Amino acid sequence: MKVRLDVLIVVALAGTLLAAPARAQCLEKAVQSVVSDFRQANLWPYPYVCADREAVPPSFAIMVQNGWRRQNLLAEQHFKSDGGELNAAGEKMVRWIVNEAPTQHRAIFVRRTETPEGTKARLAAVEQFAAKVSMDGTVPSILETNIRSAGYPADWPNAKDSTISRKWPINVPNNIYLPEPNKPAK
> Residue 8 and residue 26: Cα distance in Å, rounded?
27
Is the predicted pLDDT of residue 150 greater than 90, yes or no? no
Is the predicted pLDDT of residue 56 greater than 80, yes or no? yes
Structure confidence by residue, pLDDT tens digits, 30-45: 888 888 888 888 887 8
Confirm whether 48 is domain-assigned. no
Highest mean pLDDT of the ranges 33-37, 65-69, 166-170: 65-69
> Residue 131 and residue 97: Cα distance in Å, rounded?
12
Q: Give the whole-number percent of the chain exceeding pLDDT 90.
A: 42
Confirm whether 133 is domain-assigned. yes
The pLDDT, as a whole number, for residue 82 is 79
pTM comes to 0.59
Structure confidence by residue, pLDDT tens digits, 80-110: 987 789 999 999 999 999 999 999 999 999 9
Q: What angle do CA 158, 162, 167 make, to 5 degrees?
A: 155
User: Whole domain around residue 99: which residue ranges?
Assistant: 64-145
Confirm whether 17 is domain-assigned. no
Confirm whether 55 is domain-assigned. no
Looking at per-residue pLDDT, the higher value among 171 and 79 belongs to: 79
Is the predicted pLDDT of residue 160 greater than 60, yes or no? no
Confirm whether 151 is domain-assigned. no
> Residue 59 and residue 65: Cα distance in Å, rounded?
10
Report DSSP letters for 27-93, one per residue: HHHHHHHHHHHHHHHHTTTHHHHHHHHHHHHHHHHHHHHHHHHHHTEE-GGGB-TTSS-B-HHHHHH
Confirm whether 186 is domain-assigned. no
Number of domains, the chain: 1
Omega prior to 21 cis, within 30 of 0: no
Q: How sure is the predictor about 27, in pLDDT bands with cuts at 50, 70 and 90?
A: confident
Confirm whether 138 is domain-assigned. yes
The pLDDT, as a whole number, for residue 172 is 63
Confirm whether 161 is domain-assigned. no
